[in-house]
Amino acid sequence: MIEKLSPARRVLLLVGLILLFLPTGGGEYTNGEGHVEFLNFDTHMWGGLVILLVLLLELADRVVMKHDLEIAKDIQSWLLPGAPLQIPGYGIAYATRPANTVAGDYYDVILRPGSTPGEGRVLFAVADVAGKSIPAAMLMATFQASLRTLASSPLPLEQLTGEINRYACSNSQEGRRFTTAFLAELNAATGEIGYVNAGHNVPILRRQSGLIERLEVGGIPIGVLQDAAYQVGTTRLDPGDWLIIFTDGVVEAENAASEEYDEPRLVRIIDRGAGLAPVELLRSLLADVDQFVGNAPQHDDITCLVLKRG
C-alpha cells in the first residue's frame, strides 16, 4: 500500500504513524498572572487525524478513478457491435462479460467492401489481449481500430492479418502485450470460410451430423514478431452447421474447487442445444458456465460468438 502512495502522502503517513506511537506529551508553564497552567499535546489524536487525512485523499482519488473507469466502460461498449448483422440464411449471437470494469476481449462482425449481407463477404473476429483491465482495454481499442480500418479495404485475409500484426508489434512492448485472435471470412452465398487462427483458442465447428472439427490453421499470436507469416485455412459451413468462437475465459472459468469448465463440457452444451437458435444456445452456454462457477469470482474476460447456417 505504501508503494502506491505519492511521495508526499508517504511522508504524511509516516508522520501519522510516528505520532500514533509516541507517548502523549505535555508540560507546564506560568501565565501572565503568575498561575501555573498545564499544556497537554495528544500525539495519538493528531497521529490518527493525519492518517485519516491520507485515507480521505486516497478515497477521493478512488472515487474519481471509478468514475473514469465507468466512462471507459461506456466508450468500450460503443466500440463493440450492437445488434447482430442480419445475414439471410444465417443466425449470429455474441456476448462478452468483463472480469473487471473494462475488458481486453474483443469481437466484431464486419461486412467487407462491395459486399451485401446475403451475397458477399463477412468478417468475423474474436480476440483476447494479454492482461486485464485498463492496459488490455487500451490495446483492444487499437486492435479494433486497425482491424476496422484495414477491413474496409479489399485486402485478402492473409495480408489483412499480416498488416494488423505489423501494426500491433509497434504497440506490444516487444511482444509482451500480444493478442490472440481468430479471424474468419464467410462467403455468405456459398458458406465457404477462410480463416486465420493467430494463437487463439481453437474454435469448434459442429457439423449437422454431430461431427466436431477444429479450426487450427494460422500462426503465432499477433504482436509477437513483426515478420510473422500467417496461413489461411479453409472450410465450409453447410446448412445445420455451427461455428463457435470463444476466448479462454469460457473454458478456463473456475469454480470454488479450482476446477476448470473445460472444452468437453462446452461441446456437450453445443450438442445439447444444436437445434436451438443462436441466441438461445448462447444463453444456455453462459447459464451453464454460471452454474458451474457458482459463487467463485470471475478471473478472466468471457467472450463467445456463435454462428449457425440455417
Alpha helices in 80-180 (DSSP H): 133-151, 157-169
- In sequence order, the 6+-apart residues with CB closer than 8 A to the CB of 195 are 157, 182, 183, 184, 185, 215, 217, 218, 232, 233, 234, 235
Separation of first and last alpha carbons in the chain: 56
Does 180 reside within a domain? yes
Confidence (pLDDT) at 76: 60
CATH of the domain at 176: 3.60.40.10
Q: Which of 40, 74, 108 is the last residue of a domain?
A: 74
Lowest mean pLDDT of 12-21, 29-38, 64-73, 108-117, name the range. Answer: 29-38
Residue 9 is part of which domain span?
2-74
pLDDT computed for residue 134 by the predictor: 75
Asked if residue 79 belongs to a domain, the reply is no
The residues, ordered by sequence, that sit 6+ positions from 95 with a Cβ below 8 Å of its Cβ are 282, 286, 303, 304
Q: Are residues 244 and 300 in the same domain?
A: yes
Residue 190 shares a structural domain with residue 268: yes
Q: Which residue, among 235, 243, 240, has the nearest Cα to 282 in the 3D structure? A: 243
Tell me whether residue 99 is in a domain: yes
Average pLDDT rounded to a whole number, residues 147-174: 88
Does 143 share its domain with 283? yes
Q: What's the distance, CA 310 to chain centroid?
A: 30
- The pTM of the full predicted model, rounded to 2 decimals, is 0.77
Task: Report the DSSP pairing between strands 192-198 and 218-219.
Answer: parallel
Q: Do 147 and 262 reside in the same domain of the chain?
A: yes
Reference 169, options 142, 136, 201; nearest CA is 142
Q: What is the total count of domains within the chain?
A: 2
pLDDT score, position 124? 96
Distance (Å, rounded) from C-alpha 246 to C-alpha 243?
10
Q: What is the mean pLDDT of residues 162-177?
A: 81
Note the pLDDT of residue 30: 55
Does 220 fall in a domain? yes
Contact call for residues 181 and 151 (beta carbons, < 8 A): no
Mean pLDDT for 162-178 is: 82
The answer as to whether 203 is a domain residue is yes
Residues 88 and 43 in one domain: no
- Contact residues for 70 (Cβ-Cβ < 8 A; gap 6+): 101
Q: Please give the single-letter amino acid code of residue 231.
A: Q
- State the pLDDT at residue 174: 66
What's the pLDDT at 22?
Answer: 75
145 and 279 both lie in a single domain: yes
Q: Identify the residue with better confidence: 116 or 14.
A: 14
Residues 180 and 123 in one domain: yes
249 and 272 assigned to the same domain: yes
pLDDT digit string (tens) for 199-248? 999 999 999 999 999 999 999 999 999 999 999 999 999 999 999 999 99
- Verify that 14 and 50 share a domain, yes or no: yes
Which pLDDT value is given to residue 50?
A: 83
Bridge partners of residue 39, in order along the sequence: 27
Highest mean pLDDT among 1-10, 103-112, 143-152, 283-292: 283-292
- Domain annotation covers residue 64: yes
